[in-house]
Amino acid sequence: MNQLLEGRVAVITGGAQGIGLSIARTYVEHGARVVLGDLDAASARASASDLGGDEVAIGVRCDVTSADEVQTLIDAAISTFGSLDVFVNNAGITRDATMRTMTEDDFDLVVDVHLKGTWNGTRLAAAHMRQHGSGAVVNISSLSGKVGMVGQTNYSAAKAGIIGLTKAAAKEMAHHGVRVNAIQPGLIRSAMTEAMPQKAWDAKMAEIPMQRVGEVGEVANVALFYASDLSSYMTGTVAEVTGGRFM
Active site positions, annotated: 155
Interface with ligand NDP includes 180 (CB under 6 A)? no
Backbone region of residue 45 per phi and psi (left: phi > 0; alpha: psi in -120 to 50; beta: other values):
alpha
Who contacts 72 (Cβ-Cβ below 8 Å, separation ≥6)?
60, 62
Give least dist CB 233 to ligand NDP, A.
26
Query: Shortest CA distance to 72 belongs to which of 83, 82, 81, 61?
Result: 61
Interface with ligand NDP includes 65 (CB under 6 A)? yes
- Residue (1 or 105) nearer to ligand NDP, CB: 105
Give least dist CB 113 to ligand NDP, A.
4
Give least dist CB 84 to ligand NDP, A.
17
- Residue (6 or 108) nearer to ligand NDP, CB: 108
The span from the CA of 71 to the CA of 155, in Å, is 25
The span from the CA of 83 to the CA of 96, in Å, is 38
Among 26, 190, 228, 231, binds ligand NDP (CB under 6 A): 190
Interface with ligand NDP includes 121 (CB under 6 A)? no
Site for ligand NDP in 148-177 (CB under 6 A): none
Q: How many CA atoms lie within 13 A of 186 on its CB side?
A: 22
Give least dist CB 143 to ligand NDP, A.
6
**Residue in the shown chain whose Cβ atom is closest to ligand NDP:** 18
**Cβ atoms 47, 15 nearer than 8 A:** yes
> Which sign, positive or negative, has the C-alpha torsion 126, 146, 90, 240?
negative
Among 191, 198, 206, 211, binds ligand NDP (CB under 6 A): 191
| Sole window of 3-11, 12-20, 75-83, 226-234 interacting with ligand NDP (rule: CB under 6 A) | 12-20
